[in-house]
Amino acid sequence: SFELTQPPSVSVSPGQTVTITCSGDYLGDKYVCWYQQKPGQSPVLVIYEDKKRPSGIPERFSGSKSGNTATLTISGTQAMDEADYYCQTWDSRTVIFGGGTKLTVL
C-alpha cells in the first residue's frame, strides 16, 4: 500500500531555517499538501499543490518537491511554529497522510 514517510521529529533554533521531508513512491506524480497542528487544535493547511500558500499563511512557510520527496521549509522559524506537521496526498480513491513530524523550536 502507498505510504508517506516523514521524520518523527526535527528541532530548530529560533530564527533558523528548518526542513521537513515527506517521501513516497510516485510522489513526483502527485500533488502534496502540508498541515500544521498545534496541541489541542485542529490541523491547518499551510501548503497545497506542492508549493502554494493559502491566504493568511506567513511567507516563511514554503514547499517544494524533487522526485519522490516533498519538502516543507520554514525560514526564520518562530516559537509559534512549534507543532506537528503532516504531509498528505491522494492515491487513487484514498487519502494518505504521512506519520507526522514534531517540530521543536529550542
Partner 1 sequence: EMQVVESGGGLVQPGGSLRLSCAASGFTFSTYEMNWVRQAPGKGLEWVSYISSSGSTIYYADSVKGRFTISRDNAKNSLYLQMNSLRAEDTAVYHCVRESSAYGRPFDYWGQGTLVTVSS
With left for phi above 0 and alpha for psi between -120 and 50, is residue 97 left, alpha or beta? Answer: beta
User: Measured over all CA atoms, what is the biggest interatomic distance in the chain, rounded to whole angstroms?
Assistant: 40
**Residues forming beta bridges with residue 69, ordered by sequence position:** 23, 66
Beta carbon nearer to partner 1, 79 or 94: 94
CB of 15 to partner 1, least distance (A): 28
Find the binding residues for partner 1 in span 12-71 (CB under 8 A): 30-33, 35, 37, 42-45, 48-50, 52, 54
How far apart (Å, rounded) are the C-alpha atoms in residues 41 and 80?
A: 13
Whose grid coordinates read 499551510?
Answer: 46
Contact track, partner 1, 62-91, x by CB under 8 A: ----------------------x-x-xxx-
Helices (H) and strands (E) in the chain, counts: 0, 9
Nearer CB in complex with partner 1: 17/104: 104
The footprint of partner 1 (CB under 8 A) covers 30-33, 35, 37, 42-45, 48-50, 52, 54, 84, 86, 88-90, 93-100
